[in-house]
Chain A
Amino acid sequence: MVATSHDVMPDIELYQPADEATALDLAARLGNEGWLLSGGQDTYGWLKDRNKTPSAMIELTQIDAWRGVKEISNGVEIGATTTLTEIANDPLIKSRFGLLAKAASVVASPQIRNVGTLGGNLNQDARCWYYRRGLDCYRAGGNICYADSPEGLNREHALFGASRCVAVSPSDTAPALVALDATMVISSSNGQRTVPAQDYFVGPDRDIVNMTALNEGEILTAVQLPNAWANAEFYWEKVADRNVWDFALVSIAAVFKTSGSTIEDSRVACGAVECVPRRLESVESAIRGQQRSEAVASSAGEMATDGARPLNYNHFKVPLMQNLVKRAIRG
């Protein structure tokens, strides 16, 4: 047995491109050997413990074009290296897309939000403790899952969409962006493409080693929020063991278009119950045109967990998810 290394940074090349073209060129050239770095909050743990061994880091925070909040023709565009604190405090986001401001404001801790970026939060890797420990599970390119087993410690893991891997989407901003019908702008040296937020996150059935649709050499450079859900009534709740510096056990992001107490339309997404933010389209259909009430909320809550397959230690996520959906709709 060769000893595993922990907790000391290895030698690694650091690139700090000052413009977009250089950064994209580096990303294309280095491919998976070039670790994309902005706030670094999901970086140093991997590198110090030598559980991921890229030969280089490409730091993206020097590029002004990828940072900041601005109006675009039919909405708002947020640069991917904008920090979470900046988003939480941005007047435009707070007034028009309060759901995202709220979600960004409860990510991790204030220290992490001050340097952590939107792109980093969206692209963050699974938090399954087996995977994070550096074990060679499916997600690490291996051939086994330690969590989804008769005795696996899978309390924080998925209720839905498991396909050998049962890790969940740990991001708080991701369900908010799915609920807001956001679009991800992906850049590479070949140009740009856009992907709807809901399609940006990938489950293990389609790709067990990557959480997002980013291909080698691509960089998430912006997120666009259409005005479709601007100024909508919203509900955000994150239930975690601790009230700060913790990942959600279950979270809910919902926006509503109402007239009086009637729900005309909505978008509802839950975090931390599946490898991707789980959009609850059946709930959205069920409550469309309904009056807000305890009965409607309760029945929507129960419907929300149809198809859940609890693991050893996450049965509690079923009533918790039901309750969060109920609370969101109850208002």
Chain B
Amino acid sequence: MAYMHIGKDFTPPDVPGKVTGRIKYAEDYTREGMVYARLLTSPIPHARVVDIDASEALAMEGVLGMLTADDVYPDGEPQSTGLKMLTNEPTLVGEPILAVAAVDEKTAETAISKISVTFERLPFVLDPLDSLQPGGADAYNGGNTFVFRQGFAVEKWSADQVASFRAGNEPTAEPQQTVAYGDLEAGFGESSYVYEGTFTNAGYPHHSMEPRSALAYWEDGKLYLHGGSQSLTAFADGIAGVIGVPKEDLVFVNAATGGGFGQRARAGSIPVYGVPAKLSQKINRPVMMRVTREEEFTIGGARQGLTGWIKVGFKPDGVMAACDLWIVSDNGGKGGGADAYSAADCISVLYQADAVRFRGTAIGTNTAHRGAQRGPGQNQIAPIISPILDVAADELGISRFDMRKINTPMTGDVGGPQRTPFTSAYMPEALELAAEQFGWDERQSRRRQTNGSKVIGLGIGQGYHNAGRSGMDGIVMMGPDGRLKIHNGVGNLGTYSYASTSRAAAEVLKMPWERVDIITGRTDLHLPITSPQDGSNSIFTNTRAFYGAAQDMLAKIKEIAANDLGGTADEYDISNERVHQIADESVGMTFAEVASRAIQLGGKYTGSADLPEELAEWTQISVSRLAGTGFMGVFHDSIHEGNPPGFTVSCIEIELDKETGKYEILDLINVAESGTIMHPKGMENQLVGGAVWGIGLSGYERHLYDPQNGMPASTGYWQSKVPTYLDTPVKIGTGWVDLPDPENPVGARGVGEPAQGSVSAALTAAITDALDGHIFGASPITADMIINHVAGTSEDSVPLAQNNFRG
């Protein structure tokens, strides 16, 4: 398919601003009369605020006011897990309790230091298994778990059950959730190789580089909120409700966001934006709330830690016959996500096991707030399953790549406990491409080759995430100048998808890119609703919506031409910004002329009548504000069928030094299968960025909380070890399959999340390979763990500990 824009590189409009520093993030804005807010956070992992004495602080010169949980929740705090704006019942160290506004930050901070808060200390817990112990502390005030739609509950195992799990055995307790398909027993019966073992994945913070600072002010009854979010209209739509302001009275300004990985896409993840909004309302001044790195650690979200047991069986030909998973999830201090279920789903998708059973229980701890992080669940199980596949392959005498090929999903297959068919699945092609690009077969001669204390390890990894939603809206406009304005509500978290998705609309109308304006960055430019920018979905979902909106405009263009020039609409076509008769190209109108006509005609041509019935409320507000001002194409997307997957395959070669536990990544490629590639450079960014973070997941990143007092050790970048330039290879190879998906008009699907999981999987597999098949059953695998394995030493770690070191 020869496209004008799809599949070609371009410079997204925000790039010059980012390179020059002129683009504005939330903290870059100022407003006349602006004051500064600072947060007072809990020093205690689990407590109740008994008294707040702020008299000295409020009497200080330059201090304008204070906001407490009582102010923002006059009817009492919501009795559920989930982040609060402010709270009097902190369940983790660092949770915001109140905010103080002053003329400058120094005064605000000094005021904070003068506030005396009296706490009632409550028992705290840092490991789900400790909480499951009889007599173990409960992280929340209502219990240690929260059942969806039911409320808090207390879940306990017997001491023997906990001890047995810690000793490496299958948990025998009753799980909260069980999902299964196929005949597990038969599957294991048919298996000639069975692996069984426990594992842990460490949770760790999202650590978005830009913390969630925000500026808020009220003008003429409208709330203006400058913040950072992964999403734009999807976020604004939600935060209006959280703050309690009507959607039509909220303007959300967010031209660019410095990193978002699942916990700043939806309003429920950033309730703290309510703080400057309500404080501004209270003191009648614009309020800039700066969030520090340490506060971002606490309220910025973290991955769920998983403590699990896995049993996998393989038939003699390498087919995965059965997989049994039991996972205890660490829900942190404010409730978590559904990572464990997604982990099981991922195995079902990627390896098409004949039988899968998932049992899971989610328990709260007084640690960081947990929620979706890039590939939640899929990217935790990735580094666990890949070494197991390799060891199985070696045992069965099958090549490790063949092992993946034998079990691969393909178009026509179904995946997950719901047995959902893929919209398409070109994983076999991705595996071939990766093997060939990496030269996998040639490298096998180097496998486990030693050079002094160093040894070569090779690994393969695969990643998956569902990569598309539907049912969103699109709006395109054109004025008498004939320029196409694409009103794009997709957030700008640095993936450029706000621009890539716009390309679909330009493609439909064959607009030269320099004649296109992407209208985005603030919601008072009247933008349609989109899906939140999480879950790797934006490309698939919003391409559908913008393609549809452009199709609507195209149909109207042809209608107007036929109306004015004769004939029927289907006798017309477009080229070079003109609509003309197919039979006689000289008979036609320029787009500029059509647009002027549309404005004259009004009605449906300018969004004033005959709108799609199912437009979301947010879109309706935007459309009503645009109505009559220009030629409009507007569209509400239908719901697609099936599961549009995002797949990645990675190959890695490392040289591991057994004397120091350090390895060098000699070569790494990350290959994508995500339908038609919209924006090659954007895709390359995702694959390289995902690779860096996959190295982080498998090699470095973990939460650390002190069991004596609940203090977080990993609040800063020294203990939260994100990989650096010297930890990642100079060149990370990329590639993509680029075959179209039938459920998207240009064949595109997304791929953000799997790009991390496949590299994480490959790295762990390579480490296992270098160490002669030793499976750690953990992520991350750090240098000390490797040293201890080689030397036969060990630490005093508690087996299967969460939020602590592993031995």
Contact = CB atoms under 8 A, between A and B. Distances in A.
B106 A153 contact: no
B30 interface: no
Contacts of B450: none
B713 A3 contact: no
The winner among B105, B660, B723 for most chain A CB atoms within 10 A is: B660
A126 B130 CA distance: 32
Contact of B117 (A3, A245, A318): A3
Interface in A144-196: 146, 149, 151-153, 155
Given A1-B116, A6-B292, A249 B784 contact: yes
B106 A241 contact: no
B647 interface: no
A325 B723 CA distance: 27
B592 interface: no
Interface string B707-718: 111010100011
B805 A155 contact: yes
Contact of B105 (A8, A109, A155): A8
Interface-centre pick from A1, A151, A242 (highest chain B CB count, 10 A): A242
Interface in B677-706: 700, 704, 706
B464 to A, nearest CB: 29
B662 A239 contact: yes
A127 interface: yes
B795 A151 contact: no
Interface string A252-264: 0000000000000
A11 B708 contact: no
A10 interface: yes
A323 B804 CA distance: 26
Interface stretch (B142-150, B536-544, B578-586, B786-794): B786-794
A7 interface: yes
B721 A246 contact: yes
Contacts of B79: none
Contact of A127 (B109, B293, B718, B788): B718
Given A241-B700, A313-B796, A3 B726 contact: no
Chain B residues touching A, range:
35 or more
B118 interface: yes
B532 to A, nearest CB: 30
A5 B112 contact: yes
Contacts of A109: 724
Given A3-B115, A6-B292, A11-B106, A153 B706 contact: yes
Interface string A1-27: 111111111110000000000000000
B719 A8 contact: no
Interface in B723-762: 723-727
Contacts of B453: 323, 327
B790 A243 contact: no
Interface in A1-60: 1-11, 50
Q: From B711, B717, B718, B724, name the one whose CB has the most chain A CB atoms within 10 angstroms.
A: B718
A92 interface: no
Given A153-B713, A315-B794, A320 B726 contact: no
A249 B783 contact: yes
B481 to A, nearest CB: 47
Contacts of A2: 113-116
Q: Is the interface of B mostly helix, strand, loop or mixed?
A: loop
Interface string A289-331: 0000000000000000000000011111011100110110000
B721 A8 contact: no
Nearest to A8: B109
Nearest to B98: A3
Contact of A153 (B659, B704, B787): B704
A244 interface: yes
Contact of B726 (A243, A247, A312): A243
Contacts of B109: 5-8, 10
Nearest to A326: B659
A244 B116 contact: no
A327 B657 CA distance: 12
B795 A316 contact: yes
A248 to B, nearest CB: 11
A151 B796 CA distance: 9
Contacts of A1: 43, 116-119
B661 A312 contact: no
Contacts of B724: 109, 242-246
B706 A152 contact: yes
B661 A320 contact: yes
A246 B725 CA distance: 12
A319 B706 contact: no
A129 B725 contact: no
Nearest to B709: A146
Given A242-B721, A249-B784, A315-B793, A151 B708 contact: yes
A318 B793 contact: yes
B110 interface: yes
Contacts of A70: none
B294 interface: yes
Contacts of B804: 153
A315 B795 contact: yes
Contacts of A324: 659-660
B187 to A, nearest CB: 39
Given A3-B115, A9-B106, A319 B708 contact: no
A243 B115 CA distance: 42
B38 A8 contact: yes
A145 to B, nearest CB: 11
A5 B794 CA distance: 39
A146 B292 CA distance: 25
B713 A129 contact: yes
A146 B706 contact: yes
Nearest to B293: A7
B596 interface: no
Given A7-B294, A155-B805, A315-B788, 15 more contacts: A1-B116, A3-B112, A3-B116, A7-B109, A129-B718, A146-B708, A153-B706, A245-B717, A249-B783, A316-B785, A316-B791, A318-B791, A324-B660, A326-B659, A327-B659
Closest 10 CB pairs of A and B: A243-B726, A319-B791, A8-B109, A316-B784, A323-B659, A5-B113, A7-B292, A244-B726, A151-B707, A316-B787
26 contacts: A4-B43, A5-B113, A7-B292, A7-B294, A8-B108, A11-B106, A127-B718, A129-B719, A146-B709, A237-B660, A239-B660, A239-B662, A243-B662, A243-B724, A244-B724, A244-B725, A244-B727, A312-B796, A315-B793, A316-B783, A319-B788, A319-B790, A319-B791, A320-B660, A320-B661, A320-B787
